[in-house]
Structure 1
């Protein structure tokens, strides 16, 4: 048994959203993996470090951290059991043995005090019910002088996927309603750099800095594949009352919006994030 307070997110990530991420592991890594270099440059992991990956998802970052900490250990924590099952299975296939995946709510999880040297996250920290409490808990889990490094999204208008979704949403919502899908509120909850700095300082961190970084995101091999993938993604499904991924109209409109981004290397959109660093 484990304690959760973020019940709304737990329901989503143990339901359709978590299943979609687990079933499309390679697709989501293609979307977000372009940020890995920036993350690990800012969070150099030593060979004996103990690393915590917050909101680890399918575990790519956790496994990369474990390989860098060859004589250390990496722990990934996430609310989603379907995603964690995928992460554990992949670690076995890749023969990464110094890694552990834990189901839990990072806001209240009973991490041992001062257990970790580094805490990282690639877009896994934007969904806390109480971010200050969550980061205080992470702070407690870091040793004095330990490092926190994470990526969170910049405002939607700075991300090209935001343009795609805005165009798509305008076609499928009544006139006069907001064009931002409700499910995106969490994803962009840390988009204000000054607010991120303030909440981390309230949580006890020092030397907080947030630097803008961009990376290419591959959403599919072509517009057809990218439209099919996106039609099952939570923010797109939220636009429809039920079963949006079966809508021919949704596929057609997504396809039209994505064709402008087709390249020989796939559908490539530029993502914009804050690379946030802090010290415990």
Structure 2
């Protein structure tokens, strides 16, 4: 396993500030909980990417590296054993992310799992100097929605893929289609949630919620055979309603909303959110249904 500091500079400065500040620190401290929220999308993503022995995989916006490590095992072959590059299928995976706290967790997890065919790089996908044609597959689990300049980012990712390579990513669908966003909407009147969700086409969680725009972006970046399939998965947000409410309100969006009100409103928000989540308690967990687009595209 190797650690690198990416070149090319950082142009997506707003996201870099967020993910090297509170958001990145919170996600890194709760890596296992965020994986429990998002792991239901792993198999659809990795299956659509078609990763096999010998592939070189780029994971964009890899965060704490869960999907990078899973991809590395598939690329290694030999039943997923990845004790060192060159064994099994000889493939590898590299995760790229803006966040130093998340990359530190990614590297620690890879080391603990004994993965020798995985690397993590801090960098900005919009301008990172990838070697042309150096990857056969590119993937992302909720990491491509935050580009300040998605046209530049997808074009740069396209250049990093060799001809015939494939891009596959999971991006959030419209806000109303996911139960965790419906939970935040339940706080309307307690917290200033009116402008919480970004509109499709603007940088943020829902920037790629319009599949027609996504197809146009990828086509302009030189990709072909673009598909967008609606997919849904349950995520575990907590052990009970109170636990899930605290976790949601501690996340970046929740933290931002709570910072705008006083102590009484914060306490009321926790109570209202826990009441909203109580019907979702089943078998010792709060499970919320998430909706996303599974997008695939080929490098011409």
Distance in 2 (CA, whole Å) between partners of 1:181 and 1:194 is 23
Distance in 2 (CA, whole Å) between partners of 1:243 and 1:72 is 50
* Counterpart in the other structure of 1:190: 208
Partner SS, residue 204 of structure 2:
helix
Cα distance, 1:137–1:249 mapped onto 2, change above 3 Å: same
What TM-score, normalized to structure 2? 0.88
What TM-score, normalized to structure 1? 0.94
User: Structure 1: 5+ residue runs without aligned partners?
Assistant: none
Partner SS, residue 152 of structure 1:
strand
* Counterpart in the other structure of 1:63: 69
Cα distance, 1:93–1:211 mapped onto 2, change above 3 Å: same
* Counterpart in the other structure of 1:11: 17
Q: CA deviation at 1:137?
A: 0.2
Partner SS, residue 151 of structure 1:
strand
Cα distance, 1:228–1:240 mapped onto 2, change above 3 Å: closer
The answer to whether residue 289 in structure 2 is matched with residue 270 in structure 1 is yes
Q: CA deviation at 1:181?
A: 1.2
Relative to structure 2, which stretch is displaced further, 227-236 or 140-149? 227-236
Distance in 2 (CA, whole Å) between partners of 1:240 and 1:163 is 17
1:173-208 Cα distance to aligned partner (Å, 9 max, x none): 3xxxx6241578600010001010011101110100
Cα distance, 1:142–1:245 mapped onto 2, change above 3 Å: farther
The equivalent position to 1:121 in structure 2, one of 115, 140, 152, is: 140
Partner SS, residue 64 of structure 1:
helix
Q: CA deviation at 1:171?
A: 2.0
Say how many residue pairs are matched.
276
The equivalent position to 1:72 in structure 2, one of 85, 91, 100, is: 91
Query: What root-mean-square deviation, in Å, do the aligned CA atoms of Structure 1 and Structure 2 show?
Result: 1.8
Partner SS, residue 45 of structure 1:
coil
Q: How does 1:222-241 map to 2 (within 5 A)?
A: 222-241=240-259
User: Structure 2: 5+ residue runs without aligned partners?
Assistant: 77-89
1:69-126 Cα distance to aligned partner (Å, 9 max, x none): 1121100000000000000000011111100010000110001000000000000000
The equivalent position to 2:156 in structure 1, one of 137, 149, 159, is: 137
The answer to whether residue 223 in structure 2 is matched with residue 217 in structure 1 is no
Distance in 1 (CA, whole Å) between partners of 2:189 and 2:50 is 43
Partner SS, residue 114 of structure 2:
coil
1:24-45 Cα distance to aligned partner (Å, 9 max, x none): 0011000000011111111121
Distance in 1 (CA, whole Å) between partners of 2:19 and 2:269 is 23
